[in-house]
């Protein structure tokens, strides 16, 4: 299938626009979902509703970003949800033991990010260092990390200190914390997009052999990609902790496929070498708005998982088509 089949007359300008901004189809879907949500529930476009949407799905946005960085290099991370769970329960247990003072909350958050980076390093060494298949290796490490999470906190429900969830749900100088966090994240992503590592990850994903022959340390680059993935998964865990105000050793399991769906919805090719973290963020919002729309139209609860599953299937189909188009 060629690019021309996506655009009437094979418009060169349209193909060029999509090549530069692979998230354009996802952006159009997002706009359509916003309109549909507004039609079925006008209050969904209110300031309060938008704040709630960002608060609930900021974790998925960060998790999708984390997944994107390994997908850039034609890898994948099925342990990303387990990393989130492990960081979530580790932070909760640390705060439960040492108290919930602001200083301890900050230290626990730093420790959580460190745990995420360490998990990413383990994945990178297993996948890139030992040259195992990413999908199999990270599935195995997901079991390992889940086991560690259950060891740290066998039963869900330990509450987070008030300082933690009040900060996440609060405001500073009239600006909601989640909006400020989203802006800071956007700045970090902007800077990362211009970093050498991101260019190297895309080069490895496009053609690992050519990247190696050009002198790039392919193994080290892939390991760094997994470490970066672990860091953003840890940040997502902090958002989950703030949103749920508790620890749960299995909280991240159901978010793995959603993170992959968000990545491919955003136009990133699972074959690597092509994509955008902006698209992944948009993809995460699409999944959130689909869930909201399913509720607003009055879909029976027994059908809601079916709709979600169809959305994931369509997202995977779009990802394959984008990957083929980019190679053509």
Are the C-beta atoms of 276 and 201 separated by less than 8 Å?
no
How far is residue 284 from each of residues 60, 72, 294, measured CA to CA in Å? 6, 17, 16
Q: b/e string for 179-197 if b means 16 or more Cβ within 10 A?
A: bebbeebeeebeeeeeeee
pLDDT of the residue at 5: 41
pLDDT above 50: residue 157? yes
- The pLDDT confidence band at residue 19, using thresholds 50, 70 and 90, is low
Residue 180 CB contacts under 8 Å (≥ 6 apart), including other chains: 172
In tens, the pLDDT along 38-53 reads 998 888 888 888 998 8
Domain extents for the chain? 19-327
pTM over 0.85: yes
Q: Any bridge partners for residue 175, and if so which? A: 172
Q: What CA dihedral angle connects 78, 82, 83 and 89, to 10 degrees?
A: 170
Looking at 1.10.600, 1.10.3470, 1.10.287, 1.10.10, the CATH number of the domain 19-327 comes to: 1.10.3470
Q: At what angle do helices 196-206 and 47-72 cross, to 10 degrees?
A: 60
**Mean pLDDT confidence for 136-140:** 96
């Amino acid at each position: 299938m060629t690019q021309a089949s996506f655009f009437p007359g094979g418009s060169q300008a349209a193909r060029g626009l999509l090549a530069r901004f692979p998230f354009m189809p996802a952006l159009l879907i997002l706009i359509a979902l916003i309109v549909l949500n507004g039609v079925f529930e006008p209050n969904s476009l209110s300031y309060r509703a938008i704040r709630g949407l960002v608060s609930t799905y900021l974790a998925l946005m960060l998790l999708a970003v984390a997944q994107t960085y390994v997908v850039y290099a034609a890898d994948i991370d099925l342990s990303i949800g387990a990393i989130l769970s492990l960081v979530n329960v580790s932070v909760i247990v640390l705060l439960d033991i040492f108290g919930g003072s602001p200083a301890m909350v900050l230290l626990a958050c730093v420790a959580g990010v460190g745990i995420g980076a360490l998990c990413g390093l383990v994945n990178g060494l297993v996948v890139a260092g030992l040259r195992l298949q990413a999908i199999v290796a990270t599935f195995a490490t997901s079991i390992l990390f889940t086991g560690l999470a259950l060891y740290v906190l066998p039963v869900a429900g330990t509450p987070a200190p008030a300082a933690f969830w009040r900060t996440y749900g609060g405001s500073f100088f009239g600006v909601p914390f989640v909006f400020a966090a989203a802006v800071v994240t956007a700045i970090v992503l902007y800077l990362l997009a211009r970093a050498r590592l991101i260019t190297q990850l895309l080069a490895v994903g496009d053609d690992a052999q050519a990247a190696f022959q050009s002198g790039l340390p392919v193994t080290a680059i892939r390991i760094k990609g997994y470490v970066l993935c672990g860091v953003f998964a840890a940040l997502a865990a902090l958002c989950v902790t703030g949103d749920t105000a508790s620890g749960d050793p299995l909280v991240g399991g159901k978010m793995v496929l959603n993170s992959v769906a968000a990545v491919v919805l955003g136009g990133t090719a699972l074959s690597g070498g092509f994509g955008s973290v902006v698209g992944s963020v948009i993809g995460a919002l699409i999944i959130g708005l689909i869930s909201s729309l399913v509720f607003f139209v009055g879909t029976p609860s027994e059908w809601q998982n079916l709709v979600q599953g169809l959305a994931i299937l369509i997202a995977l189909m779009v990802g394959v088509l984008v990957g083929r188009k980019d190679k053509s």
